[in-house]
Amino acid sequence: MLAEWRGVTSASRVYGNYGYEISDDLRRRRVEVLEKRYGGREQAHAAAVRIQRAFRQHRMNSRFRQVGQTLFG
């Protein structure tokens, strides 16, 4: 199963599609490693928030365009 791992960076979805989760200790350790990689907890959190906002804005714009095309096609 480890060979099927795709390197998902979200600690809550490391093995998401396989029906099992990693332990809390491993999840916590993974978050610590990611925080260290991205320059500390505060900087990693700020980057994650920025990425999430941009992604949500992108999805909202995409869906708005789809609705507009459906209505005014």
The residue to which tokens 């809390």 are assigned: 24
At 51 the pLDDT is 96
pLDDT tops 80 at residue 71: yes
pLDDT tens, residue by residue, 34-59: 999 999 999 999 999 999 999 999 99
How many C-beta atoms surround the C-beta of residue 14 within 10 A?
Answer: 17
CA separation for the pair 25, 8 (Å, rounded): 17
Return the higher-pLDDT residue of 44 and 14: 44
CA separation for the pair 43, 33 (Å, rounded): 13
